[in-house]
Structures are given as structure tokens and as C-alpha cells.
Structure 1
């Protein structure tokens, strides 16, 4: 969505322009465009319409902590959601692992800021002249340029012991959850449902493979051996097809020679009265 055109502290589409600067020493400034969040769909509990502020033109280096600090000047902030584009979206899930994070944002983003009271939204959309907000003050600096890349590189270095601990914990939880699901499925076997139908499975013929880490490793090794045998079998099949093709070519050649020989024999047996 293109930023609206700024006119004397206000903008088109019902937006209000808030001037911001990167630091106190910066002379250049840009604008954030804000307006109360209004949707036609049913009210979202995460975004109450009377306490939610919709924000446009957020720089990619702005974090949730920075946006929370900026809009706290208008009133107590309950939550901040950053998105690539406007929409209902889904609630940002808690990061499952500190070692593997998604790609960093490259474009300007939007935000949904939820205040504790409706007065925060009214203060944010007020058209009164205000001093530019500082995005990177001295007490909360934002790292950019070379410092940002150095920080990203340092964060990318993984501690093998901590990573192994996290992997072991994840696999333990996964195995426990799988065992619980299998136990629930086993309890339902042979039990008729509401309509009187009984679910029939192949467990009576073939025991199921437990989905554990050790079982998955055995399954992978079995697939590798099967693939190797299949490749060897395909090689011998190709060799067999070549031999068969050569044999068919020899039979055709012999067939043509026999046809010529029979034609000569028939010509010699032709009756000649004189």
C-alpha cells in the first residue's frame, strides 16, 4: 500500500501523519501514517476496534520493542503486531527455537498497536503539531549498517551443546506426543462409532512402526538399501534389454536371408516345357 500524501499533519484516507527521525542528530525525517483500526468483519478479540491503531510506513529495522516504546508516548500499550502487509493474519507464535529464525524484513511494514485505553488511539491520531519522534535514541539505539551485520553474524554462531539439548528435548516431546496419539488410536480400535460402524485397520496383519527417532533412522536406512538394490536391478534390466534387442536384430537378418533363399528355390523348381 502506497503511503498517503501528507497535507499539514494529516493525510488522505483518514490517516494522520506522525513525523519521525532516525536519531536526534538526523535532519531528514519521514512520516508514519496512523488511523483507528476499523473492519467490517466480526470484532477480533486481539484487536478491539476502539483500542487498536493501524500504522503504515514502518521502516524494516523497526522491532516490536521499538514500536512499543514509540507509541507508549500516547498511552499504555498492550500489544504490537508487525506484518508485511495489512490483513487479519494470525497471531504471532512464540519463536520455537532461538537458533533458527526467519528471514529479516526487507520492506516497509504495517503494525497493529493495541492500547490499554481508547485514549491512546485518540492521542495518536490527534492532528496537533508535534515534534518528530526519535526512532534510535541514545538509551535505546538501533543497530544498522556494519554493526547490524556483525550482530547478525554473532547471533548465527550456534553453540553445539545448547543446540543438541534443544534437539533432544524436542524429540522427547515428539515421541511422547506420538505415543499418546497411538495409545488413543489403539483404544478406539474395535469400538463402534455413533452410527454403529467399526473402523477396520491393517494392524491385525502388519504391526505398525512406532514413529520414534530410532524407528525413523531404521526406516531411512531401509529405504537407502532398497534404492541401491533397485538401481542395480535397473542396470541389469538395461543390459538384458540390449541383449534382447541384438538378438531380435539377428533374427530379422536371418529371416531376410531365408526369404531370399526360398525365392531362389522356387525359381529353380519352375516348370520349363522347352
Structure 2
């Protein structure tokens, strides 16, 4: 029996890494104990001609195949050797809006997406993004100086983070409500200018659009409107629903027209007899 020949290994103990067209592969490992490498596929983030993007050009790195255990902080630390990292944004899929979302709340945000994700890494300088395209690796996610918690330690850390700080929560809610009240006040001020809503003293600013009737926003007024709509629907309910109802309605209308025609003829004859009819 002839033994199979083994393929010669590449320098460093790893074979050639295949990557999608236009992407560069960066091998990473969870820790030194891990033998197999996981690959991140990176390229410069580019947009179509004529399109607008909030991601800065020539400084944004688009990353595919980000594993679940690799967070935004881990990605920032892995790529910091290429240059200062301004921000890292993880997404479940490529962002079609071509821009970062509003900052998420520490307390009110959806659960993290399980599975692999994509990332947008924004560097402070363009040369740092170019250096990231030439990384060889493998890079370590969990090191002795900055270990990644796993198992029971990760469960304890997640449970500790799930216990909310009442004071921090109150501050964030108050900040949100202040911004919300400010937004509502601006909308009401704009509505007063455009719609002619009476101000506190009862004066109405007349605009080109004209003055519109303003209903008092009280519970009694709302009940009256609902009752009026209910009566209107009741009058229209099942009106001329069947074909025979249509026929009877038409026949009654014709009978009323004939009756009115005969009455008009009699009135004209009476006026002729009294010599008061002057058609010309």
C-alpha cells in the first residue's frame, strides 16, 4: 500500500489563504491555544459614483466574517497596530444607508445579533487603513494582558451588566425626555405659525393658508365626534344594499318626478285661466 504524499506547508505553518475577489484576508485566533485560524476579509469601503456616504472616504475599512466573540473593542485593539482607530461599528449585514446610525443607548437597545457580522472601521488617517489591508497575522483576540471572558466568567459579567444602575438610568431618561420635550415644543411652535392655532392669549396668526377651525381637545368633544360618526354610519348602513332596493329607489324617484310634473301642469293651467301666465 502506497502512502499519500503530504503537500508542503507554507512558511509559518499555514497554507495559502483564499479570499473573495477584491478582499484581503487577515487570520485571527481566539487565543494562543487555538491551532486553526479564523479569517477576516477586509477591503477599502467605497461607494458608487454620485452616491453620498457618511462614512469618511479613504479612511473606512469594511470587514466581513467577524466572529461573535469579536466585539467593537476587540476589533479596535486588533487594528490599532496599523494606526489610531476613530470608531468601529458592527452590523448584522452591510449598511445600505451608507452611514452610521445614531448612538445606541446603554440601557435601551436591541439584543446583539447572534452569529457572524460585518464591521465598518474608521481610522484617523488614510495610511492606517492602507496598512490594515497588508496585515498578515495571525492576530490574537484574547491575550494575557487583555483576556476575553468565557464560560462562567462571561455569564457573571453579563449578569452584572444586566443589573441597571438607577441613578445612571434616571439621568439618561431625563436627558431623553428633555430632548423629546424640546422637539415637541418646536413642532408646536411651527404648527402655530402654519396652522393658525390660537396662542395663550387667544390670538390667531392669519397665514396665506387661511384659518382652520380648531376643535377643543377635550374628552367631551371627542365623545361628541364619535357619537356623530356613529349616527352617520347607522344612517348609511345597509342602504341600497340589494338590487331590488336600487330598483325600488329608482321607481320612487320617478313617481315623485311624475307627481311634481302633474302639479306644475295644473298650476300653469290655473294661471292661464286667471290670465296671469306670461311666458314671454
TM-score tier after normalising by the smaller chain length = 0.5 to 0.7
Structure 1 residue ranges without an equivalent (≥5): 1-5, 210-218, 227-274
Which of 69, 91, 107 lines up with 2:100 in the alignment? 91
1:202 to 210, 214, 223: 214
In the alignment, what sits opposite 1:119? 127
Shift of 1:170: 4.2
Shift in CA distance, 36/10, structure 1 to aligned 2, threshold 3 Å: farther
- Matched with 1:54 is 62
Unaligned runs of 5+ in 2: 1-13, 197-203, 224-280
Match of 1:147 in 2: 153
Counterpart among 4, 27, 34 of residue 19 in structure 1: 27
Q: Measure, in 1, the Cα distance between the counterparts of 2:184 and 2:46.
A: 43
Q: Offset of 1:76 from its aligned partner? A: 2.2
The alpha-carbon deviation at position 69 of structure 1 amounts to 1.2
Could you tell me whether the CA contact under 8 Å between 1:64 and 1:81 is conserved in 2? yes
Write out the 4+ residue segments of structure 1 that deviate beyond 6 Å after TM superposition: none
SS of 1:73's equivalent in the other structure is: helix
Q: Is 1:136 matched with 2:145? A: no
Pick closer, same or farther for the CA change 1:162–1:27 going to 2, 3 Å.
same
5 Å matches for 1:154-165?
154-160=160-166, 162-164=168-170
Equivalent residue, structure 1, for 2:72: 64
Report the alpha carbon displacement of residue 162 of structure 1 after superposing the two structures with TM: 4.9
Residue 42 of structure 1 aligns with which residue?
Answer: 50
Aligned length: 199
The correspondence for 2:84, drawn from 76, 98, 101, is: 76
How do 1:108-257 residues align onto structure 2 when only pairs under 5 Å count? Answer: 108-126=116-134, 130-160=136-166, 162-164=168-170, 166-167=172-173, 170-171=176-177, 173-175=179-181, 177-188=183-194, 189=196, 190-193=204-207, 196-203=208-215, 206=216, 208=217
1:102 aligns with 2:76: no
For residues 160 and 76 of structure 1, the distance between their equivalents in structure 2, rounded to whole angstroms, comes to 35
The answer on whether the counterparts of 1:9 and 1:18 sit within 8 Å (CA) in structure 2 is no
**What is the CA distance between 1:46 and its match in structure 2?**
3.2
Shift, 1:57, TM fit: 0.7
Q: 1:147 to 1:105 in 2, by over 3 A?
A: farther
| Structure 2 residue matching 1:13: 3-state secondary structure | coil
In angstroms, what is the RMSD of aligned CA positions?
3.1
Contact 2:55-2:100 within 8 A present in 1 as well: no
TM-score normalised by L of structure 1: 0.61
TM-score by length of 2: 0.60
Matches of 1:54 and 1:116, distance apart in 2: 15
Which deviates more, 30-39 or 140-149?
A: 140-149
Q: CA deviation at 1:134?
A: 0.4
| Aligned partners of 1:191 and 1:198 also within 8 Å | no
